[in-house]
Structure 1
Amino acid sequence: MEPQSEYREELVARERSGHTTVVEGNFLYVWGGYVSIAEHEIFLPNDEIWLYDLDSGVWEIASMAGEIPPSMSGMCGCSLSGEMFIFGGCGDHGQTNELYSVNLLDKKYTWRKRKHETGSVPSPRDKLSCWVHQDRTIYFGGYGHKLLSELTNSRNFIVDEASWMEDVFWGWNNEVHVFDPRTNSWSQPRTFGHLPAPRAAHASAILGNRGYICGGRVMETRTSDVFCLDLKSWTWSEITPISALPVGRSWHTLTAISDTSLFLFGGLSDDCKPMSDGWVFDVETKKWKELDHPYKDKPRLWHTACLGRDSDVVVFGGSRDYILLVDTGHCNDALIFQTQPYPLLRLCEDFIAGKSTVFQKELPCLPRKLRGAVEKRTSFFRPASKLPDQM
């Protein structure tokens, strides 16, 4: 659809990478992350949260209170029963293993630090992933540090030889940890089967009772392998695709878009090239299929992706450059990927909203509910002029 020529000025969330986003109701919530300025990492304010209306495309910002987490990047975020949970991450004081939650529904945005009652808290880490299953959050992998006394199993932790010092060792892990917010308890189930290699900056998604991971950095390489963890039996299995597959990568995203399919986008290739390709993986047929999309000129890494309306995937932020080599390239645009055919109502709403100047006389004649939906979509199709950075 052709955008209208009228421009509007509005707030736009700051460019960032390594942030967290969740969708709750009709809003995409954005918190944290960092930008690079003159070779310095600047962590973004921790006392604000950005809301993106998925229908209108309009941003708003809200202040946060309570036990506010430190400003950081690389934490793992998810939504459970109207609350956003974040765990891990790395800030000015290094990596953390603290867990926080905030209610997104009461509009007060008051953080709460979750103090565990029982069980052992995972070691500090960042660049991990998680699943939400049976009202629990389940965390996998990441890059972090352990004391010498904590190195009990070489299958679960690979030491980064370039980073260890004295009795503190940094490295990659393939551990699975479960947090139950009803009891504030941690547990570490024993897993079986073919375990994936320890890794970080991978991507994960969940389908039913099965958690999936794809790719990530395994020591000095980046992979595109796919593993599945049965969340009832805690048994790992590797899925061997029977088709052409994406190149190995890290800092990409994986999003469930149907009962049997996952959408992969972007990342950093093994030769350190920012990627803009999109792929759909069918877990039943074990086939990858590259998805044609309009954002081939918008590579992204260390971005986020969430499931929106009608199986849309909403990608926000990230970097278009290799962030370890340059101090520019952070993004703040929301890319909307259509992964499934739209229903007739969505097609009609978008068509009318995209040509609202043509239908000005007819709009008041629409049923009230439909007219309200079209008016919100009209705002989405009207381009916004970006204000200067809010920082």
Structure 2
Amino acid sequence: MCRMSGEVPPPMSGTCGCCLNGDMYIFGGCDDNGQTNQLYCVNLLDGIYTWRKVNHKSGSPPSPRDKLSCWVFNGRLIYFGGYGHKQLDDINNNRSFLMDEVSWVDDIYWGWNNEVHMFDPTSASWSEPHTSGCDPDPRAAHASVTLCHKGYVCGGRIRETRTSDIYCLDLESWTWYEIVPASNVPMGRSWHTLTAISDSGLFLFGGLSIDCKPMSDGWVFDVGTKKWREFEHPYMNKPRLWHTACQGKDSDVIVFGGSCNYILRVDTGHCNDAHVFQTQPYPLFRICEDYIAKNVKNCKMLEKQLPFVPPKLLPAVQKII
């Protein structure tokens, strides 16, 4: 644990975080005053960990929102969707903003959007790319991932329903298209994660179901064949929602934190454990590392033989131990 200084962001939920060139950016979220559209940045490599508020030099930032997602591509941060508020005069396209009919005050309306906004850290500029094609419905609490030059969106909440549909945005041509799966699809959900595990594979885990129940199922989607495959794993009794996930070594997926309850109804069930999902067979080198590191302390003979492990293998084993 390290002490962070500078322009530290206020306590928030529903923010959107991403990393680019060693810098971690967080945008949006909900603080004590409601949704925000502030952007903060901290360098994770310099050992100083000083936050700074990022002020743009040109363009207009997105309206205040939370539960959005982000793609990182070609040195830029590309944000999609979310739930937030707009003034009535700014709602000029019913296709991009779906009003929440029970949430409005005077001329300020809350709702879901499917807008695409881009931030360029080099020029500190915001822009709103013009997209074409079949764009997804406005939504929030969805999951997204970048794969090559494409950004994928899966599921999320659209008004009172939750979906498991998949859309793709070509980040070079800015063209949307829907991917219609060729097999059984997961149940609709929100607050789940989607993680790239190969050049064509995406791993989906957990979330909140249509009937507001925490989920623990895992699925793998092949973007080439357009097929879903349910993934067996040892954590079926440990549901998660609003967690984080990232790709680890050898296509592992590491899931951390979140909640095992519907957090809007019960303020308990917060989690701080990590689960590792093995999505691909491990190479022989990895198997050797794991076996030696796991058993060296319990086997005196193996412990004595450790210094004779091949030089290429020894540093990796010592690091794991």
Q: TM-score with structure 2 length normalisation?
A: 0.97
Distance (whole Å) between structure 2 residues aligned to residue 154 and residue 88 of structure 1: 22
Q: How many residues are aligned here?
A: 318
For residue 324 of structure 1, give the secondary structure of its aligned residue in structure 2: coil
1:127 aligned to 2:67?
Answer: yes
1:370 is matched with which residue: 308, 313, 318?
313
Please give the residue correspondences for 1:51-66 in structure 2 after superposition, counting only pairs within 5 Å: 61-66=1-6
| Cα offset, 1:373, TM superposition | 2.1
| Cα offset, 1:364, TM superposition | 2.5
1:167 aligned to 2:107?
Answer: yes
Partner letter of residue 163 of structure 1?
S
Is there any run of 5+ residues in structure 1 with no aligned partner, and where?
1-60, 379-391
1:250 aligned to 2:190?
Answer: yes
1:344 aligned to 2:287?
Answer: no
Aligned to 1:388: none
Partner letter of residue 15 of structure 2?
M
Q: Deviations over 1:224-255 (max 9, x none)?
A: 00000011111110000010010000000000
Distance (whole Å) between structure 2 residues aligned to residue 83 and residue 307 of structure 1: 18
Partner letter of residue 125 of structure 1?
R
1:282 aligned to 2:222?
Answer: yes
Partner letter of residue 41 of structure 2?
S
Q: TM-score with structure 1 length normalisation?
A: 0.80
1:116 aligned to 2:56?
Answer: yes
Please give the residue correspondences for 1:224-303 in structure 2 after superposition, counting only pairs within 5 Å: 224-303=164-243
Q: Deviations over 1:90-119 (max 9, x none)?
A: 111211101111111111111121100010
2:31 is matched with which residue: 69, 75, 91?
91
1:80 aligned to 2:23?
Answer: no
Partner letter of residue 101 of structure 1?
C
| Cα offset, 1:369, TM superposition | 5.8
| Cα offset, 1:361, TM superposition | 1.5
Q: Deviations over 1:281-332 (max 9, x none)?
A: 0011000001111111110000000111111111000011111111110100
Larger RCO: 1 or 2 (CA < 8 Å, sep 6+): 1
Distance (whole Å) between structure 2 residues aligned to residue 182 and residue 278 of structure 1: 38
Aligned to 1:47: none
Q: Deviations over 1:50-83 (max 9, x none)?
A: xxxxxxxxxxx11111111111111100110111
> 338-347 or 74-83, which moves further after superposition?
338-347
Distance (whole Å) between structure 1 residues aligned to residue 192 and residue 89 of structure 2: 33
Distance (whole Å) between structure 1 residues aligned to residue 125 and residue 249 of structure 2: 33
| Cα offset, 1:148, TM superposition | 1.1
1:202 is matched with which residue: 109, 124, 142?
142
Distance (whole Å) between structure 1 residues aligned to residue 293 and residue 92 of structure 2: 60
Distance (whole Å) between structure 2 residues aligned to residue 367 and residue 242 of structure 1: 47
Distance (whole Å) between structure 2 residues aligned to residue 240 and residue 114 of structure 1: 39
1:176 is matched with which residue: 83, 106, 116?
116
Partner letter of residue 76 of structure 2?
R
Distance (whole Å) between structure 2 residues aligned to residue 271 and residue 293 of structure 1: 23
Distance (whole Å) between structure 1 residues aligned to residue 223 and residue 279 of structure 2: 16
State percent identity of aligned pairs.
68
Distance (whole Å) between structure 2 residues aligned to residue 158 and residue 345 of structure 1: 52
For residue 68 of structure 1, give the secondary structure of its aligned residue in structure 2: coil
Distance (whole Å) between structure 2 residues aligned to residue 170 and residue 202 of structure 1: 17
| Cα offset, 1:370, TM superposition | 3.0
Q: Deviations over 1:16-51 (max 9, x none)?
A: xxxxxxxxxxxxxxxxxxxxxxxxxxxxxxxxxxxx
